[in-house]
Amino acid sequence: MTRDYSIYRLSDGIIVRSMRVPDAVHAGPPALEPGEGWIEGVYDWRAVRVIDGAPVAYTPEPPAVTANQVRAEAARRIEAAWPLWRQMNTMRAGGDDYAAMGAQIDVIRSASDALEIMDPIPQDYRSDDWWP
């Protein structure tokens, strides 16, 4: 028979290690470093935090979206609508297609500009709901 322990930092509740101790050598709770606590059981450090001595499900906050990510999405959408080879041919030919291309790129850039100044930028910035 064994006993399972998870060791966590008291400062933020993050589990730093887990251990399984056979009953034959079990002499009480595991040795701890300063600033650590323990709970019985093995818990996944990615999915659990220890709050007030009890395991609590944890879902990390997604990283903040940056303006560069929005600009990259705008570039992807422009390239999908007007691949570079097509842009070059359209610019060389001029005419109505050139004006239509410029107008469509301007609309995508305007949507990108509007997203870039939001604080925070929405996590679903790639959704078609934000783009023309």
Question: From CA 132, how far away is CA 57, in angstroms rounded?
Answer: 39
The mean pLDDT of 99-125, rounded to a whole number, is 97
Global pTM reads 0.62
Roughly how many angstroms between the first and final C-alpha of the chain, as a whole number? 63
Contacts of 114 (CB under 8 A, 6+ apart): none
Q: Could you tell me what percent of the chain has a pLDDT over 90?
A: 70
Is the dihedral angle over the CA atoms 31, 37, 43, 44 positive or is it negative?
A: negative
Look at residue 50 in the predicted model and tell me its pLDDT: 93
pLDDT digits (tens, 9 = 90+) for 64-101: 999 999 999 999 999 999 999 999 999 999 999 999 99
Has residue 24 got a pLDDT over 70?
Answer: no
Q: 13 in the Ramachandran plot: left (φ > 0), alpha (ψ -120 to 50) or beta?
A: left
